[in-house]
Structure 1
Amino acid sequence: MTANGITPKHAITSITKTTVIQYLNDVLQDTSPRTRNNSRTDIASLFQTLENNEIIESNYVKNINKLRAIPTRHKSYSPQLLEKIDFYLIENEKVLRLFIQFLCFNFLRPIEVCRLKIKDIDLINKQLSVKAKNQSLKEKLIPQMMLDEMPDISSFDKNGYLFNKNSLGGTWDAKESSRRDYFTKRFKKVKEHFDLGEDYTMYSFRHTYISKLYREFEKEFSPNEAKGKLMHITGHSTIKALEDYLREIDASLPKDYSKYLK
């Protein structure tokens, strides 16, 4: 007999609805309602295949309720606030500042920055390798402004993480979600210093700079050309995915329409 009453010989048929619910509760405790719902969908899909092949009698997972997942609003930073935060980080949090610059200039997500190892950073060829969201390993250009901020890491252990707790390089025996949460908590102290609300997050830096880049592209290119160039940089898999993302973060603002209201 194994954990939760599941026997090795009949593992699938020994799984009960209660077992799945307990697992989903564990996922919820460690992550979020959205991640828990995604896990439920994946398991339900597997169990539907098992039902279709008459391995189990019924797919009871599809009857487990979904939780209401309220999306987090990542409010963009104003240019003035960005300048103040950057000055504060220079004075007090140099490692965190470099972490955030990967969000701003390379448009990585916080957990993707946590995945970076020294061997993933190729400063000579100006590239980095990272496992992106729902994708295999991706190669991304390191822009010059990011290169200008990078310290000399040539002597570091190639297998060490780029970001350790209080320094660059070295081992860190913790899950990537725990490492991300560690930097999130460090940034919380910055938010407290500037009395920022919960809508301001580390993720907000990525949104802010993607919006900034798109608005600059809009000045020079047609909407389709601007989105095509941006998609190549951000790594979105389709134009529709990028358009949905830009709409979500209000990346494109209209010109002043006051004269039409007179």
Structure 2
Amino acid sequence: MCSKKNSTLKKSSDNSHVTNQSGVLAALHHDIPTYKENGAGAYIEFRAYDPEQGKMRRKTIKLNRIKGITNRRTYARQVIKRLIEQLNNGWNPWIAKDVGDLIVFEEAIERYEAHIEKMLASGYFRKETYDGYKSYVKIMREYISKKRPTYYVYQFDRKFCVDFLDHVFIERNNGAQTRNNYLNFLRVFSGFLVDKGYLKSKPTDGIAPISKRLYKKERECIPLDVVGRIADYCREKEPELLFACYLLYYCFIRPVEMTRLKVRHFNLKACTLTIPGELSKNKMTQTITLPKKVIQYGIDLGVFSAPVEYFIFSYRLKPGDAEIDPKHFRDHWDNVRRALKLKKEWKFYSLKDTGITEMCDRNVAPRHVKDQARHSSLAITDIYLQKSASKAPGNRDIIGYDGAL
């Protein structure tokens, strides 16, 4: 009953731990089933590789229900013959499918990475979208390596997704929005696995995001007196960052867009800045107004004296020919936050919200605020107008009003 192939497998199975380096072949490892009788009764015993645990595990099949020693032994021979045939054909007792259908999870991840790289190169993904997905994949790999060994695609199931989201939300102490972002990534990744035929259905189906009504926004507007302190500090310690703060506060330019802007996009004579569609979030080419304060500070820094094809922010936030990651702004902002002991909710991007809100407070026409912020509609600008109105004092005529009642 033992072929030369099986003898080789049996010999190699003496190692109690087989890693995923063996790939799908690891799941073929097994011992030859044997029949045993002892005080506990009669049973068939063999060991097979368990992908969940990454090692060989003992499997027993009890036969006490078969009455009579002769009948039991005859039945055992029939079962052992059938087990050997199944094991030789790729069956594994710890897996609910044939080994021949197994796909190594790491290979699926690598194929997904190749997919998103192609999407970036073809212009279907923005750089920040690509970077986000790469970051999610990195964290998922770390989770697999340290917390949950996962060798095959079939192990990427609903329980994996739920446990991974708990790891992100609870163990890594991230906010609800971040947890929801990871859920969105898992949904996209699940869809990819289904499209490639690796899975029959998406394991994320039925996993709900945390409702936005239940969590507080992690970013807050910054009080104007604190904004003044930030400006004073940056003017002395972080002059290049202050220029970025100006563009965010007065022009509402997103950090990722700042990293792509070049000197040629600025028209100092017309006091305008044109953001090409290929650089912007909404894929639309739009022109906004540059306040003289912003222009003058850029001139003083020497930004507009750089070659026209230079990025206005490169390494050390100075003009240069290399595009940088938006993370550079956050790193510099962290220095400011620690020095001034700012609240963690006052993020670099908070300057945009604060700038729009102050512009509304100064009674700038809503349509002008909309155009400057490149909002898709006045309804979005109205959100800031409502915030502004909620802080305004009551009408003095109504405060002193005394009616007939």
TM-score normalised over the length of structure 1: 0.69
Q: What residue is the counterpart of 1:145 in the other structure?
A: 293
SS in 2 for 1:140: strand
Cα 1:242/1:173, change in 2 over 3 Å: closer
Q: 1:168-214: CA deviations, max 9, x gaps?
A: 2114465x3xxx22221212222222221112221222122211111
Of residues 388, 394, 399 in structure 2, which corresponds to 1:251? 388
Q: 1:126-163: CA deviations, max 9, x gaps?
A: 22325333444433332322212222445534443211
**Which moved further from structure 2: 158-167 or 226-235?**
158-167
Larger Cα Rg: Structure 1 or Structure 2?
2
Q: Which amino acid aligns with 1:142?
A: L
Q: Which runs of at least 4 in structure 1 moved beyond 6 Å after TM superposition?
A: 44-48
**Which moved further from structure 2: 126-135 or 233-242?**
126-135
Q: Which amino acid aligns with 1:91?
A: E
Q: Output aligned runs, 1:174-185, within 5 Å.
A: 174=324, 176=325, 180-185=326-331
Of residues 324, 332, 350 in structure 2, which corresponds to 1:186? 332
Of residues 232, 236, 256 in structure 2, which corresponds to 1:111? 256
Does residue 62 (structure 1) correspond to residue 200 (structure 2)? The answer is: no
**Which moved further from structure 2: 92-101 or 155-164?**
155-164
Q: Which amino acid aligns with 2:388?
A: A
CA distance in 2, matches of 1:160, 1:117: 5
CA distance in 2, matches of 1:115, 1:242: 25
Q: 1:53-105: CA deviations, max 9, x gaps?
A: x9974344424554677531323222x33333222222211111111110111
Please state how far the C-alpha of 1:236 moved relative to its aligned partner: 0.9
Cα 1:213/1:166, change in 2 over 3 Å: same
**8 Å Cα contact 1:89/1:97 also seen in 2:** yes
Task: Work out the number of aligned pairs and report it.
Answer: 239
**8 Å Cα contact 1:156/1:169 also seen in 2:** yes
CA-based RMSD: 4.2
CA distance in 1, matches of 2:184, 2:381: 21
CA distance in 2, matches of 1:113, 1:36: 26
CA distance in 1, matches of 2:327, 2:178: 13
Gaps of 5+ in 2: 1-102, 116-151
**8 Å Cα contact 1:77/1:204 also seen in 2:** no
TM-score normalised over the length of structure 2: 0.48
Q: What residue is the counterpart of 2:274 in the other structure?
A: 128
Asked which structure has the greater RCO (Cα within 8 Å, sep 6+), the reply is 1
Gaps of 5+ in 1: 219-225
Q: 1:106-138: CA deviations, max 9, x gaps?
A: 112223222323333333442232533344443
**8 Å Cα contact 2:311/2:323 also seen in 1:** no
Q: Output aligned runs, 1:10-21, within 5 Å.
A: 18=156
